[in-house]
Amino acid sequence: MIAAIDTPFAGLTPDAVLDAAEALGLSPDGRMFALNSYENRVYRLGRLEAEPVVLKFYRAARWSDAQILEEHALAAELVEAELPVAAPLSLGGATLHHHAAFRLAAFPLCPGTAPDLDQPGARELLGRTLARVHAIGARRRFRERPTLDVSAARRARDALRESPLLPDHMRSAYLQASTLLLEGIEAAFQAAAPLPGIRLHGDCHLGNILWQSTGPLFVDLDDCMTGPRIQDLWMFLSGTESEQQRQWREIMDGYDQFGSVEFRELGLIEALRSVRMLHHAAWIAARWADPAFPRAFPWAGEPRYWEGYVGDLRVQCEQLADPPRVG
């Protein structure tokens, strides 16, 4: 059972992908191209006399069917409101399908390019669109999806310190740095409380956006969650303090047209960056038995990576104690 969880896609051969597509009535033409994805497996699939689609095979034991269906329902709700989101196709009256040992969904193949937010008006348009997404997200609540809070960082810290991937000589240093970081994260959340949570994209970064002639199109709601609005905004800020202030103003020029962000949420930016740093390393360690991960992150198998990582955590502790002023 452990091996099956660690290598959930071992049986997902090209023939298995095509068999699943055939079972869904997609009429595959045999053309198939693996798209960039580590947590799940995603393929562009050609079809006979029809437009290509994207097939997403969900990692076993990560989300329940109910959690996946909430993801699909949010995407459908956003599309119904004419928002640019890639939502799963309904095939035979369902969006989530089971075939052999796999769960999968089909999505339309959406055109687009990598975003360039330095183009005139791009950040304002992004902010305006996200505000509309959040307005829909605030209409109701998730019942099954996770909530973003301090416990997510704590679980990541505990998981990594127990992982054999973390070199023994770095365990004490990691524990010290991560514990200090957790204290800062908890303090930031306490200072910002109470904040109402809404349904969010959850992993809103440039890699999950396609840019079209009309603006951004959001893809991959796999990590949608309940949390503060700032979670879908902070990853678009980078650079010096003055650069982040400019970027924030441009985003808010659009966001304020359809929504608002409470000022105290800005105090969570570095805390959320810290949560992501803890989670990303723990995620790689947890998935290391999946052959795709050593191929994609070979440096994680080297002690010097973890030495640098702990150094980055220490720097982030300083950043969290004296964060750049954004708003």
User: Which tokens go with 326?
Assistant: 């954004």
Catalytic: 232?
no
Neighbours of 208 (CB within 10 A): 20
Neighbours of 200 (CB within 10 A): 28
Helix (H, G, I), strand (E, B) or coil at 36: coil
The Cα 189–Cα 78 span in angstroms is 29
The Cα 179–Cα 21 span in angstroms is 47
The Cα 202–Cα 224 span in angstroms is 5
Q: What kind and span of H or E run contains 161?
A: helix 150-161
| 3-state SS record for 196-215 | CCEEECCCCCHHHEEEECCE
Residues in the chain: 327
The Cα 95–Cα 43 span in angstroms is 16
118: left (phi over 0), alpha (psi -120 to 50) or beta: alpha
Backbone angles phi, psi at 105, to 5 degrees: -140, 155
Q: Which is catalytic among the residues 29, 203, 232, 290?
A: 203
Q: Of 296, 239, 303, 228, give the one whose Cα is nearest residue 267.
A: 228
Residue 203 in contact with residue 220, Cβ under 8 Å?
Answer: yes
Instruction: Give the Cα-Cα-Cα angle 114, 319, 161 (nearest 5 degrees).
Output: 85
Residue 91 DSSP class: B
Q: Which is catalytic among the residues 15, 168, 220, 322?
A: 220
Question: Residues near 238 by Cβ (< 8 Å), separated by ≥ 6?
Answer: 244, 247
Q: What kind and span of H or E run contains 215?
A: strand 215-218
Catalytic: 220?
yes
Residues designated as active site: 203, 220
